[in-house]
């Protein structure tokens, strides 16, 4: 588990194809690896990766086909800057929100605008994730825990203050950029709970207006 508070910016030092998947070497910059052991988890742009080698200047990890297919990891190149966060410990402050490091989908930056000293972004999420994104709710973008400041269909707005721009890779974002999205864990669990017994029949596609009306959550 992670908090979504980025600890350092690293960069991709090597990408080595390995039988259909990829082994990646991430240079970790100022990230303190003194307490990191082989097998520990580190989030790279919000993707939970397992350290399989620790050469001293960073770590090597294996990126599966599943991760390549479900995230924007395949967009990374040698030298790409990446957000880094070590796994949550029992004594860590939960400065953001609970983040699993399992990407739910890939979004696209559609607008970037200056807003006083901050920067306003509008990001388009995959249609199937729109129902989990709520005004003033939490969302993770490339591993960064952020507050949603506006929602319009599958698009949502973020206001990024100078500190966050300086401590993450969001300063690099321009329209057309693909980003990893992880929706709020609580929203996913709430949806499953509301399905009740229907969650076990394997036929439900999730919550929709019809389901909510049939079960008394909506009134005509």
Domain count, the chain: 1
Alpha carbons 172 and 142: distance in angstroms, whole number: 12
Residue 77 lies in a domain: yes
Residue 16 lies in a domain: yes
| CATH assignment of the domain containing 55 | 2.40.30.20
Residue 42 lies in a domain: yes
The answer to whether the beta carbons of residues 146 and 135 sit under 8 Å apart is no
Is the pLDDT at 199 greater than 80? The verdict is no
Residue 190 lies in a domain: no
> Could you say which DSSP state residue 190 is in?
H
Dig out the tokens for 177 from the structure.
């950029």
pLDDT tens, 138-186?
A: 999 999 999 999 999 999 999 999 999 999 999 999 999 999 999 988 8
Residue 215 lies in a domain: no
Q: What is the pLDDT of residue 187?
A: 82
DSSP, collapsed to helix, strand or coil, labels residue 155 as strand
Residue 106 lies in a domain: no
Residue 119 makes CB contacts below 8 A (sequence gap 6+) with 112, 113, 159, 160, 165, 170
> Could you say which DSSP state residue 163 is in?
H
Alpha carbons 208 and 212: distance in angstroms, whole number: 6
Work out the pLDDT band at 201, boundaries 50, 70, 90.
confident
pLDDT tens, 9-44?
A: 999 999 998 888 999 999 999 999 999 999 999 999
Residue 201 lies in a domain: no
The whole-number average pLDDT for the span 42-59 is 96
What residues make up the domain containing 52? 8-86
Dig out the tokens for 132 from the structure.
């989990």
Is the pLDDT at 62 greater than 60? The verdict is yes
Residue 27 lies in a domain: yes
Alpha carbons 115 and 113: distance in angstroms, whole number: 6
Q: How many Cα atoms occupy the beta-carbon half-sphere of 33 within 13 Å?
A: 22
Is the pLDDT at 214 greater than 70? The verdict is no
Alpha carbons 72 and 63: distance in angstroms, whole number: 12
pTM score of the predicted model: 0.86
Q: What is the pLDDT of residue 207?
A: 52
């Amino acid at each position: 588990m992670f908090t979504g508070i980025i600890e350092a910016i690293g960069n991709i030092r090597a990408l080595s194809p390995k039988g259909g998947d990829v082994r990646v070497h991430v240079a970790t910059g100022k990230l303190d690896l003194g307490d990191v052991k082989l097998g520990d988890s580190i989030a790279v742009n919000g993707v939970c990766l397992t350290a399989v080698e620790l050469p001293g200047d960073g770590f090597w990890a294996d990126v599966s086909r599943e991760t390549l297919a479900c995230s924007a990891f395949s967009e990374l190149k040698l030298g790409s800057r990446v957000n880094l966060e070590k796994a949550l410990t029992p004594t860590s402050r939960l400065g953001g929100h609970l983040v699993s490091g399992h990407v739910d989908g890939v979004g696209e930056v559609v607008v970037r605008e200056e807003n006083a000293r901050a920067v306003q972004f509008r990001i388009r999420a995959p249609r199937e994730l729109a129902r989990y994104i709520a005004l003033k709710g939490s969302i993770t973008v490339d591993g960064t825990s952020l507050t949603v400041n506006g929602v319009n269909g599958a698009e949502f707005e973020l206001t990024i203050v100078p500190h966050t721009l300086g401590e993450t890779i969001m300063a690099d974002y321009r329209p057309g950029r693909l980003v990893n999205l992880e929706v709020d864990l609580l929203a996913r669990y709430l949806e499953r709970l509301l399905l009740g017994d229907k969650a076990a029949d394997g036929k439900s596609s999730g919550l929709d207006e019809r389901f909510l009306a049939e079960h008394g959550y909506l009134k005509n």
